[in-house]
Amino acid sequence: DESARGDYTNPDDGSYVSVPSPLGKLRNITREKVDVLLLRNSLPQHFHLQIDEVEYLESIGSGSFGKVYKGRFKGKIVAVKRYQVNALCAKSDVDMFCREVSILCTLNNPYVVKFIGASLQDPSQFSIITEYVSGGSLFSILHEQKRLLNIISKLNIALDVANGMNYLHNLPHPIIHRDLNSHNILLHENEQALVADFGESRFLTSLDDDNMTKQPGNLRWMAPEVFAQCTRYSVKADVFSYGLCLWEILSGELPFAHLKPAAAAADMAYRHTRPPMAITFPKDMTNLLQCAWHSIPDERPNFVTILDELGRIKETQANSLPSNGNTNFVFSDNQALTAESPSNTGRETPPLTGHVTALRTRWEMEAFTTTLKSSSMDDMKKQLTEYGYVVDST
């Protein structure tokens, strides 16, 4: 800042080291104090909590904002998001905290994490208290626990998330999430999914709002128009992120796991690369995915349309289940294998491991069905060639 040099500074003096003006920092501090005061006045009284009312039990997560703890409040298990105010942070944690509280206190929906209250008095103890969701994040379930989900469970999770996003987008003052990914989808023990983490969210005041923050959220799930640093984008950016989450739920794989997040976002934005379609995806699901992550935002469906389509797909899959109730995999004649669709152009992606798993599981199921037809071990042996292959003798 030139104004910080002073009248007697020689611009050619090599000993001079440019330092930022303290005025900018003071302006930010003043603005943040105003934001906190406004929030204290506007937040309904029953949401005001004292941090010493919360008993901390254990740390269950962390991020750039601080840590998340499992705690106890008035006899109930809760989640406590403790902000760590950092004066050197490029993005104001206070601003993020105030925005998240102001959004959470307006939400009331079974598919969105429930807000209990916030501690606003001491900046060093800024905290957000929400319901505790015991099942953990979708990311943890898919990629850390590697839990196998049947097709109906996957569709139920997808429907829950779509219901939550549809609620956000159709409020009197619509909310754009801007950070929808598997880390921010939480599951109860009964596998009901909730949309969570509104630190990057904001109220959408106008469809022509061109004052959006550049590149908020996780790069791996980021819409191309957001990654390209466009300051005018809409709720359709959330639809793109949802499409990647839907693919992730169905495949059990991390989108572009072979790439770093920034490289994945760049490939999607500039090379129009999309994750590969598995042969286990129903054709209607493939079409829905390709629409959801369309490169033109206006061509993407809204969540009302997504809910209708997912409902039809779920009904079709439920009617296709085997009579024995096995719902691990559903195979039908209208499954798609699209390797050369326009949305798969760009950098090559490695084969989806889900392909191998699906084919192996299908073979095992068919082999098991075949062995049930055998009345004895001798009959079973007659069906094997010298190389161990099964020969259908019927």
Positive or negative, the CA dihedral 7, 12, 13, 19 is positive
The distance from CA 140 to its chain's CA centroid, rounded to whole angstroms, is 12
Tokens read off for 133 = 């969701």
CB 133 within 8 A of CB 187: yes
Largest CA distance in the chain: 102
CB 135 within 8 A of CB 141: yes
| Cα 74 from Cα 70, distance rounded (Å) | 14
| Cα 265 from Cα 254, distance rounded (Å) | 13
Pick the catalytic residue from 12, 35, 160, 179.
179
CA nearest to 171, candidates 237, 106, 112, 111: 106
In sequence order, the 6+-apart residues with CB closer than 8 A to the CB of 258 are 349, 350
CA nearest to 270, candidates 295, 300, 291, 250: 295
| Cα 245 from Cα 288, distance rounded (Å) | 13
Is 81 marked within a binding site? yes
Indicate if 209 belongs to the active site: no
Q: How many helices (H) and strands (E) does the chain have?
A: 11, 9
Query: Which residues are known catalytic residues?
Result: 179
Annotated binding site for ATP: 81
